[in-house]
């Protein structure tokens, strides 16, 4: 093929179009991942780069024998699991509500995006104020209503701190679930509901036999994405509790960060990151297989 | 079960979709709601099913008013235009769903599903999902789902419109057979007049939310109540000529055509529309008082017949259906003869038939 021909061919135009994405992906995704994987085999202290040395699997051995790593793993699992369960339940319920053509629903649909667009830093700061034991509005309100007799130390007992981070995550990301589910709800054929009514199905059976099966695929996808993003989440926990009190709200991202930045064991941090990535990868594949995603014919 | 509709009205907001519909569907008859798109057929059917609120009027099944009754308590079954099969359920579960919801014992469901599947010849498809079926098979499953509960009233909304022409003809016969086996009152919606003519005991012709005529297929065909029914029923469609009635003759251009007796009452120089079906016209060798003269502008072969288009004076056209063996050519001058007993006469102003009285 001549040069001129190639320059005007569909193939060339296609390459031009995908080039920006390929470059971006290489620089911001592939390179950092490759670098993290490489780093996980080295001992590296940013203050003493001269001492950098290849240590084989030593970082991984360290991580696997570190009780804090396993605590972080356990806490990350709890935090992810509860966040996802609540987000899904609330998300589907709110979507079902908003789907009804009631007066004023357009307004609430607009409000939905609010938590989603406010930066996490701002939200975390506001939440720290809200949950402040002495001056926070939550305690104020609960005391006033009479639900509690003395201030609750929201962010300073392990259970309450975990509950608060979960609440923050649920509050911030439920709208994502709502939007996905709402979009799908609008495409459910109305005749299916009529058929179910004629067949004698009540409200609950119509939900279980018509709505839910139609939501299956979107929920599978939403749950995968939310799980990956939540399991990996760093800033919400760090900004709200710094992983504390103690290490009670550490997840693997916080663990990796603390190892790299506070303890200056970048290799160990990288190894924790690699382990986390493999866990998510394997977990997602297994989940999608079990859920049978894509196997359902239309 | 007899279904009676009394002064049924339906409004969506400010749009009046049905106006004073009065119909009685006799028990165990096959009745068709026929009309062009948007005339309110589906809306009326959904009101009978209980899926749509009634703005005004009353619906009774037998003696009992059902206006406020939920669909599940009406003992009806419905076949939807899109079939509306539950996509995640197998054919077996789709068929048994209505019984399962009502808590029927497993063995009975099994038996009922098996019986219906045998009648409809879908036993070999029971374990498939709807997505793995052809359009015709889906249609049978939808029918089966409706038949399985032994309903009193069987509602169908254009169940054949998604099938190819040939399958549609076969299914017409089958639906008719199922109706006879089923012992239920069938209310069938279609916009296809041929379907209505071939399948129904009674036809309600609707237009813009108003019932135009309710009668047997023979009645709506041979004694159309108004211009709309006359034009809607029959294929190829009826010819219409505008003119006046004078001294028992219909004046069009310079022809004076003989008319049948008109009990409807005629004023002098009464403005009227003459309607005549292409099948009821013949070509005559010589012009006469009861013929119109024109030139052939188009000849279509329909199979055993030919449809001939004749240009009359005054920009008017008529179609004439003749036997395919007859030789005619474009440009021929022909004389079209009317049989006074086979013409329809309508009042221009009201559109009503003047033959009906
Ligand atoms: N939910 C609704 N809200 C507002 N108008 C409606 C609604 N449903 C139907 N209509 C209107 O009512 C009229 C009758 O509709 P319907 O569906 O009964 O027509 P149809 O005779 O079944 O037509 P088709 O042969 O196209 O199915 C139409 O003009 C339609 O626009
Ligand atoms: Mg319709």
Please give the helix or strand (H or E) that residue B336 lies within, else none: strand B333-337
Domains of chain A: 58-291 (1.10.3720.10)
- Domain chopping of chain B, boundaries: 3-232, 239-347
Contact A198 B82 (CB under 8 A): no
| Chain B touched by A199 (CB under 8 Å) | yes
Listing DSSP states for B101-134 in one string gives HTT--HHHHHHHHHHHHHHTT-GGGTTS-GGGS-
Chain B nearest-CA distance from A214, in A, is: 8
The DSSP symbol for B1 reads: -
Which numbered atom of ligand 1 lies nearest the CA of B39? 21
- How confident is the model at residue A298, as a pLDDT? 42
Q: Which residues of B touch A209 (CB under 8 A)?
A: 86, 89, 97
| Beta bridge partners of residue B352, listed in sequence order | B226
User: Shortest CB distance from A191 goes to which of B70, B84, B102?
Assistant: B84
What's the CA-to-centroid distance between B41 and ligand 1, angstroms? 8
Per-residue buried b or exposed e for A159-182, using 16+ beta carbons within 10 Å of the residue's own CB: ebbbbbbbbbbbebbbbbbbbbbb
Q: Which among B168, B206, B228 is positioned nearest to B31, based on CA atoms?
A: B206
Per-residue pLDDT of chain A (298 residues; tens, 9 = 90+): 566 677 778 888 888 888 888 898 888 888 888 888 888 888 888 777 777 788 888 888 888 888 888 989 999 999 999 999 999 999 999 998 888 866 777 777 778 778 878 888 888 888 888 888 888 888 888 888 888 887 777 777 888 888 888 988 898 899 999 989 999 998 999 999 999 999 999 999 999 999 999 999 899 889 988 998 898 888 888 888 887 788 888 888 898 898 888 888 888 889 999 999 999 999 888 888 888 776 654 4
What's the CA-to-centroid distance between B37 and ligand 1, angstroms? 8
Per the CB < 8 A criterion, the answer to whether A215 and A183 are in contact is: no
- How confident is the model at residue A63, as a pLDDT? 84
Q: For CA atoms B223, B229, B235, B236, give the dihedral sign.
A: positive
Chain B nearest-CA distance from A175, in A, is: 27
**Cα–Cα distances in angstroms (integers) from residue A186 to residues A89, A100, A173, A189, A192, in the given order:** 19, 10, 21, 8, 13
Residue A293 phi/psi, 5-degree rounding, is: -65, 135
Residue B12 CB less than 6 A away from ligand 1: yes
- How confident is the model at residue A297, as a pLDDT? 46
Strand order, beta sheet including B30-34:
B76-79, B153-157, B185-190, B30-34, B202-207, B210-215
What confidence tens digit (pLDDT) does each residue in B214-270 have? 999 999 999 999 999 999 999 899 999 999 988 788 888 778 888 888 876 777 778
**B292, exposed or middle or buried, with CB in 10 Å at 0-12, 13-18, 19+?**
buried
Residue B38 CB less than 6 A away from ligand 1: yes
DSSP β-ladder status, B202-207 and B282-284: unpaired
- Residues of chain B predicted below pLDDT 70: 264, 357
| Chain B touched by A204 (CB under 8 Å) | no
Rounded CA gap, B89 and B238, in Å? 48
Q: In this structure, what token pair is assigned to residue B162?
A: 């998604």
What's the CA-to-centroid distance between B232 and ligand 2, angstroms? 17
Q: Domain B3-232 has what CATH class?
A: alpha beta
Residue B190 CB less than 6 A away from ligand 1: no
- How confident is the model at residue A40, as a pLDDT? 87
Three-state secondary structure call for residue B31: strand
Among B12, B49, B209, which is best to mutate for testing ligand 1, by the most ligand atoms less than 8 A from CB? B12
Q: Specify the residue with its C-alpha closest to ligand 1, atom 5.
A: B12
Q: Give the chain A residue nearest B76 (alpha carbons).
A: A198
- How confident is the model at residue A9, as a pLDDT? 80
Q: In this structure, what token pair is assigned to residue B73?
A: 């308590």
Chain A nearest-CA distance from B208, in A, is: 24
Q: Domain B239-347 has what CATH class?
A: mainly beta
Rounded CA gap, B126 and B149, in Å? 17
**What does pTM read for this prediction?**
0.81
- How confident is the model at residue A127, as a pLDDT? 82
């Amino acid at each position: 093929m001549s040069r001129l021909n190639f320059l005007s061919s569909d193939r060339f135009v296609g390459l031009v179009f995908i080039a920006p994405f390929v470059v971006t992906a290489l620089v911001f995704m592939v390179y950092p991942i490759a670098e993290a994987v490489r780093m996980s085999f080295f001992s590296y202290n940013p203050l003493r780069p001269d001492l950098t040395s290849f240590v084989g699997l030593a970082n991984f051995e360290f991580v696997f024998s570190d009780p804090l790593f396993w605590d972080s793993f356990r806490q990350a699992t709890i935090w992810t699991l509860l966040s996802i369960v609540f987000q899904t339940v609330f998300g589907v319920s709110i979507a079902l509500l908003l789907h009804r053509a009631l007066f004023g629903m357009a307004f609430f649909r607009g409000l939905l995006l609010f938590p989603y667009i406010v930066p996490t830093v701002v939200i975390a700061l506001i939440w720290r104020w809200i949950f402040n034991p002495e001056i926070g509005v939550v305690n104020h309100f609960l005391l006033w209503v009479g639900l509690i007799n003395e201030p609750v130390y929201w962010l300073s007992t392990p259970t309450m701190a975990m509950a608060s981070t979960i609440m923050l995550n649920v509050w911030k990301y439920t709208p994502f679930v709502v939007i996905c589910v709402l979009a799908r709800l609008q495409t459910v054929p109305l005749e299916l509901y009529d058929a179910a009514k004629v067949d004698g199905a009540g409200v609950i059976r119509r939900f279980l036999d018509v709505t839910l099966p139609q939501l299956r695929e979107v929920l599978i996808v939403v749950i995968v994405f939310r799980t990956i993003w939540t399991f990996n989440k760093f800033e919400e926990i760090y900004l709200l509790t710094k992983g504390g009190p103690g290490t009670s709200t550490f997840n693997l991202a916080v663990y990796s960060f603390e190892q790299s930045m506070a303890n200056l064991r970048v290799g160990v941090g990288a190894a924790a990151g690699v382990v986390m990535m493999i866990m998510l990868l394997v977990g997602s594949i297994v989940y999608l297989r079990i859920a049978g995603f894509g196997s359902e014919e239309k | 079960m007899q279904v009676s509709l009394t002064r049924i009205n339906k409004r969506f907001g400010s749009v009046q979709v049905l106006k004073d519909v009065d119909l009685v569907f006799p028990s165990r008859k096959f009745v068709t709601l026929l009309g062009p798109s948007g005339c309110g057929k589906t809306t009326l059917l959904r009101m009978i099913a209980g899926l749509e609120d009634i703005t005004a009027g009353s619906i009774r099944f037998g003696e009992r008013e059902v206006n406020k009754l939920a669909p599940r308590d009406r003992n009806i079954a419905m076949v939807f235009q899109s079939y509306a099969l539950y996509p995640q359920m197998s054919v077996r579960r789709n068929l048994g769903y209505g019984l399962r919801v009502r808590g029927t014992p497993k063995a009975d469901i099994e038996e009922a599903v098996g019986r219906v599947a045998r009648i409809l010849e879908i036993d070999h498809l029971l374990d498939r999902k709807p997505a793995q079926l052809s359009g015709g098979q889906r249609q049978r499953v939808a029918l089966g789902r409706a038949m399985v509960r032994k309903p009193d009233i069987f509602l169908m909304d254009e169940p054949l419109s998604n099938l190819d022409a040939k399958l549609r003809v076969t299914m017409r016969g089958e639906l008719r057979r199922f109706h006879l086996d089923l012992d239920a009152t069938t209310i069938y919606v279609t916009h296809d007049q041929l379907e209505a003519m071939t399948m129904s005991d009674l036809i309600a012709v609707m237009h813009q939310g108003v019932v135009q005529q309710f009668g047997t297929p023979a009645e709506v065909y041979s004694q159309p109540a108004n211009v709309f029914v006359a034009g809607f029923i029959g294929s190829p469609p009826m010819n219409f000529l505008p003119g006046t009635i004078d001294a028992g003759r219909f004046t069009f251009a310079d022809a004076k055509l003989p008319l049948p007796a008109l009990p409807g009452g005629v004023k002098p120089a009464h403005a009227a529309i003459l309607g005549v079906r292409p099948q009821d016209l013949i070509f005559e060798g010589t012009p006469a008082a009861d013929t119109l003269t024109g030139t052939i502008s188009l000849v279509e072969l329909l199979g055993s017949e030919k449809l001939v288009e004749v240009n009359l004076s005054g920009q008017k056209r008529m179609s004439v259906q003749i036997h395919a063996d007859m030789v005619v050519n474009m440009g021929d001058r022909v004389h079209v003869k009317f049989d006074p007993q086979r013409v329809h006469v309508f009042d221009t102003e009201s559109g009503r038939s003047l033959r009906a009285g």
